[in-house]
Structure 1
Amino acid sequence: MRLWHQKLISKLPRQQLLGQHREIAALRGNGWGRPHATVNYVFKYSPYKLYQFHMLVLREMKNRGYHPAEEWKEATYRGLNCAAYREISPIELSTPIYPEHNDEYLHECLHNLKAKGITFDESEFY
């Protein structure tokens, strides 16, 4: 499980983009608070940040012609098998959404994708 650096969302191949949606959906649902080495940092913040990150992914999916469930656009929604939040306080959008998504993390993500045979001109990200 991994959240790709947000600069990569619009560039991800289909499989990684759809996988990102599934992973975020799991984290927003019953996966919230369950330790996982590569995403533990998200639990330091309000779940609203994960919602904001998910919105980036959902917008890209829509741009590519995919039709994710509309319910995910609601910040309190947590999936079919998890009770919605009664309330979730909106927070200001920061850039990057997660401070951990710095240049070092971008490099790590690019390296991970390269190991999967997915390469980019890295100069477009820095």
Structure 2
Amino acid sequence: MRLWHVDLLAYLPKGQLLSQWRELNSIFAKEDRHILINYIYDYPKADLYLYTTKVLEEMNKRGFQIRTYEKMNNYFEGLGPVKDRKPFLHHHNQEYLEICFYNLKEKFIRGQKDYEEALYEQLCTYIKDVL
């Protein structure tokens, strides 16, 4: 279970992006605990809402259809207005960006079937610019 660095959502292969939605729904339903995501509970719920919004934006941009928002709506019920900002600011830092990049790099090198070369090249260009 992993919530990818928020800045890398646009560079995720289809499988990883769809997995983000599944993992978020699991958090919404059960407030899952896992060593790679426990940090989210140290932040206000608004951070998870902002992250979720960014995942949904990327899914919509790619034309993915979402069947239901019920778990999400229930989880964030009563949250109120949320100011747009970068979620999980102290965790989604440069170190985590590098960790996620190398994880994605390995997936590409090992031949993940849905990781198109053009998308991987875009990721590499982005990483060169920010690191």
Task: Give the alignment's TM-score, normalised by structure 2.
Answer: 0.76
Identity %: 33
Structure 1 position 70, deviation (Å) = 5.2
SS of residue paired to 2:69? helix
Q: Which residue of 1 aligns with 2:84?
A: 93
Which structure has greater helix proportion?
2
Q: Which residue of 1 aligns with 2:67?
A: 69
Query: Which residue of 94, 109, 123 corresponds with 1:103?
Result: 94
Classify 1:28/1:125 alpha carbon distance in 2 versus 1 (closer, same or farther; 3 Å).
Answer: farther
Q: List aligned pairs for 1:1-126, cutoff 5 A.
A: 1-30=1-30, 32=31, 34-69=32-67, 71=69, 76-78=73-75, 85=77, 87-95=78-86, 97-99=87-89, 100-117=91-108, 119=120, 120-121=123-124, 122-126=127-131
RMSD of equivalent CA atoms: 2.2
Q: Which has the higher contact order (CA 8 A, sep 6+)?
A: 2
SS of residue paired to 2:8? helix
Task: Give the alignment's TM-score, normalised by structure 1.
Answer: 0.79
Q: Mind listing any 5+ residue stretches in structure 1 that lack a counterpart?
A: 79-83
Give the number of aligned pairs: 116
Q: Which is further off, 6-15 or 62-71?
A: 62-71
Q: Mind listing any 5+ residue stretches in structure 2 that lack a counterpart?
A: 110-119
Q: Residue type matched to 1:16 in 2?
A: Q
Q: Distance in 2 between matches of 1:105 and 1:38?
A: 11
